[in-house]
């Protein structure tokens, strides 16, 4: 029995992808590369969910860290979002000064522009700043018919623990 992983015929190894090789962490969101791979199930509409429970950015006024739990749902078109590039992209916000609304919406817009999904939504569930939690939601158009989009599963703020 071979212990080598099976190679996908639909996703050839590409030198342009960050997957499978060491890359520098992007310092800022504009420097981050978003990678995608072919969707092997283009004839089927289905939902993909990414949860980012430890998102961090910087308050542009105070310089203090802000924390959020992001949930990104999308219905793929021709391309799938590659998860390592998403990890590097969201980590690039760690030193980025922006308000909650700007971070959440700009992530949603960039992902939608890069992978061109049939539908995408992002929920930014931000931990309190000044005692007030701020939740931000953005989506493209309407969910395709017959696709189940479950609740994002993040409760309203009550310590969110």
Q: What is the pLDDT of residues 63-121, one digit of tens each?
A: 999 999 999 999 999 999 999 999 999 999 999 999 999 999 999 999 999 999 999 99
Catalytic residue among 59, 73, 135, 146: 59
Tell me the C-alpha distance between 66 and 129, whole Å.
Answer: 8
Residue 153 pLDDT: 92
User: What are 75's two structure tokens?
Assistant: 């219905």
Q: Where are the domains of the chain?
A: 43-139
The fold adopted by the segment(s) 43-139 is GTP Cyclohydrolase I, domain 2 (3.30.1130)
Residue 59 bears catalytic tag: yes
Put residue 94 in one of left, alpha, beta given phi > 0 → left and psi -120 to 50 → alpha: alpha
Catalytic one among 35, 66, 73, 103?
A: 66
pTM here? 0.87
Pairing of strands 79-81, 65-75: unpaired
How confident is residue 8, by pLDDT bands cut at 50, 70 and 90?
very low
Cα 159 from Cα 161, distance rounded (Å): 5
pLDDT score, position 100: 97
Q: Does residue 45 carry a catalytic annotation? A: no
């Amino acid at each position: 029995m071979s212990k080598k992983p099976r190679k996908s015929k639909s996703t050839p190894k590409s030198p342009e992808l960050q997957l499978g090789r060491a890359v520098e962490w992007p310092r800022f969101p504009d420097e981050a590369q978003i990678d995608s791979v072919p969707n092997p199930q283009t004839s089927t509409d289905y939902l993909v969910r990414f949860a980012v429970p430890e998102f961090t950015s910087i308050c542009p006024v105070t310089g203090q860290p802000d924390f959020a739990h992001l949930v990104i749902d999308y219905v793929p078109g021709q391309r799938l979002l590659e998860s390592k590039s998403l990890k590097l992209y969201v980590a690039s916000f760690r030193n980025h000064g922006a308000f909650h609304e700007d971070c959440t919406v700009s992530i949603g817009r960039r992902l939608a522009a890069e992978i061109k999904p049939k539908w995408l939504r992002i929920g930014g569930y931000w931990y309190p700043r000044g005692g007030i939690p701020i939740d931000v939601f953005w989506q493209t158009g309407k969910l395709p018919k017959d696709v189940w989009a479950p609740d994002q599963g993040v409760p309203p703020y009550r310590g969110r623990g």
